[in-house]
Amino acid sequence: MKPENEIILAKSDPILETIISQIPKPIFESTKDIFHDLLSCILEQQIHYRSTKRIFATALERAGIEHLTPENFHLIEKYSLPQIKLAMRKYETIVSLMHYWRNSDLDFNQLTDEEVASQLSSIKGIGKWTIDMILLYTLQRPNVFPYDDFHLKEIMVKLYGLNPNVKLKAQMLGIAEKWENQKSLAVLYLLETKKVKIV
Task: Give me the pLDDT at residue 2, please.
Answer: 67
Integer-rounded Cα Rg, in Å, for the chain is 18
- Distance separating alpha carbons of residues 39 and 74, to the nearest angstrom: 13
Report how far apart the first and last C-alpha atoms of the chain are (Å, whole number): 20
3-state secondary structure of 77: helix
**Domain residue ranges of the chain, discontinuous segments joined by +:** 4-27+145-192, 34-138
User: What would be the CATH architecture of the domain defined by 34-138?
Assistant: Orthogonal Bundle (1.10)
For the cut 60, the answer to whether the pLDDT of residue 118 exceeds it is yes
φ/ψ of residue 49, rounded to 5: -65, -25
81-117 pLDDT, tens digit each: 888 888 899 999 999 999 999 998 899 999 999 999 9
Q: Which fold has domain 4-27+145-192?
A: Endonuclease Iii, domain 2 (1.10.1670)
163-187 pLDDT, tens digit each: 999 999 999 999 999 999 999 999 9
Task: Give me the pLDDT at residue 22, please.
Answer: 92
Task: Give me the pLDDT at residue 3, please.
Answer: 80
Contact 33, 138 (CB under 8 A): yes
- Distance separating alpha carbons of residues 9 and 13, to the nearest angstrom: 6
134-159 pLDDT, tens digit each: 999 999 999 999 999 999 999 999 99
Check residues 31 and 198 and name the one with the higher pLDDT.
31
Report the 10 Å Cβ neighbour count for 122.
11
Task: Give me the pLDDT at residue 122, please.
Answer: 96
Contact 189, 26 (CB under 8 A): yes
